[in-house]
Amino acid sequence: MSSDGRFPAGGDVSEHHGEPPGAASEEVLAPRFVISRRYAANSGGARGLLITVLGEFARPTGQPTPTSAFIDVFGRLGIQEKACRQALARAAADGWLVPIRRGRQTCWQLSPPCLQFLTLGAQRIYGFAPVQRDWDRRWLLVLARAGESNRSVRHLLRTRLRWAGFGSPAPATWISPHVDRVGEAEFILREAGVHGDAQIFSGEYLAGGDLPGLVRQAWDLEEIAQGYQGFLEEFTDPAADDPLVCLTRIVHSWRRLMLLDPTLPHELLPAGWIGVPAGNLFVEQQAGWRRAALREWERLSVPGC
């Protein structure tokens, strides 16, 4: 990134594997491993929260975790024991977790595909920056139309392409300053069943109206800015003094912002883009809470496993 921000290095790492980088799939990633982008996008209630807890704590330790540890953490976050147990059971049914019986205690081990999923997700979380670095001024253009009567396909296209950071300045037209996302675009088009009728181009802007105007048509920057504003208000001076709770909440919120923000180049964003201080706050706060949070997780998870 430029001097406007200070973020850790990292590329556009997919949260999915087995498909082109960044592919937004809701299908089976490996045998008995199913995950919805709704949960990956932080809108899946207890199951969405479970992804954050698994990624931040179970993944780094690499050890089976007793049910009691999840119940304790979820309780601190305001989730009842019943909802926690249901989330664990559903995660096991979908192949995220492998239950291990040790006496009366049930422990949960990450499945290999879930571990890979969470590792790639962590790389993306900690490599994400709200401003695109080193833009070469090229654009990726996708022309994809679904029939007016096929609402499900239009919804799938709109949802998946927006998750991938594409904006739509006109009907059936999608643009992105990330030309390396062509593989992801093709995957989405195939998933929607419109690849054969769509076209993908890459090129450079030459003349015409101003690009910031195009950006305002293609993306709702006000919505994204409001998300960052809420993030700053919540985490600049958090009320909770429990580092495990603080780390879980900040990562959980950051994941959602990552899917809202298309990561545009600096020159296409409003002056003083609020994503920069929000990104700096995430880096600083999570680093301050991480060590104590992991120590507390280890204290909770070691007994019984």
- Tell me the whole-structure pTM to 2 decimals: 0.79
Write the pLDDT tens digit of every residue in 135-152.
999 999 999 988 776 788
Which of 205, 164, 178, 206 lies closest to 265 in space, CA to CA? 178
Task: Enumerate the domain spans of the chain.
Answer: 12-131+228-260+270-305, 138-204
In this chain, the answer to whether the domains covering 12-131+228-260+270-305 and 138-204 adopt an identical fold is: no
Number of Cβ atoms within 10 Å of the Cβ of 165: 26
Assign 150 to helix, strand or coil: coil
Between the two ends of the chain, the Cα-to-Cα distance in Å is: 43
44 falls in which pLDDT band (50, 70, 90)? Answer: low
Fold of the domain built from segment(s) 138-204:
Alpha-Beta Plaits (3.30.70)
Q: What is the largest CA-CA distance in the chain?
A: 71
pLDDT reading at 11 higher than 80: no
Number of Cβ atoms within 10 Å of the Cβ of 289: 22
19 falls in which pLDDT band (50, 70, 90)? Answer: very low
Rg of the chain over all Cα atoms, to the nearest angstrom: 20
| Separation in Å, CA 10 to CA 13, 64, 195, 209 | 8, 29, 30, 33
List Cβ neighbours of 292 (8 Å cut-off, separation of 6 or more): 243, 244
User: How much is the pLDDT for 33?
Assistant: 52
pLDDT reading at 237 higher than 80: yes
Query: Rounded to an integer, what distance in angstroms lies between the CA atom of residue 102 and that of residue 250?
Result: 33
Residues 56, 31 contacting (CB under 8 angstroms): no
Strands in 97-102's sheet, in edge-to-edge order, are 65-66, 105-110, 97-102
Beta bridge partners of 109: 98
Q: Mean pLDDT over all residues of the chain?
A: 84
pLDDT: which is higher, 226 or 24: 226
DSSP 132: B
22 falls in which pLDDT band (50, 70, 90)? Answer: very low
User: How much is the pLDDT for 217?
Assistant: 93
Percent of the chain at pLDDT exceeding 70: 84
Q: Which CATH class is domain 12-131+228-260+270-305?
A: mainly alpha
User: How much is the pLDDT for 32?
Assistant: 53
pLDDT reading at 305 higher than 90: no
35 falls in which pLDDT band (50, 70, 90)? Answer: low
Query: Rounded to an integer, what distance in angstroms lies between the CA atom of residue 187 and that of residue 189?
Result: 5
User: How much is the pLDDT for 82?
Assistant: 96
47: tokens are 């199951």
User: How much is the pLDDT for 134?
Assistant: 86
65-74, 160-169, 291-300: the lowest-pLDDT one: 160-169
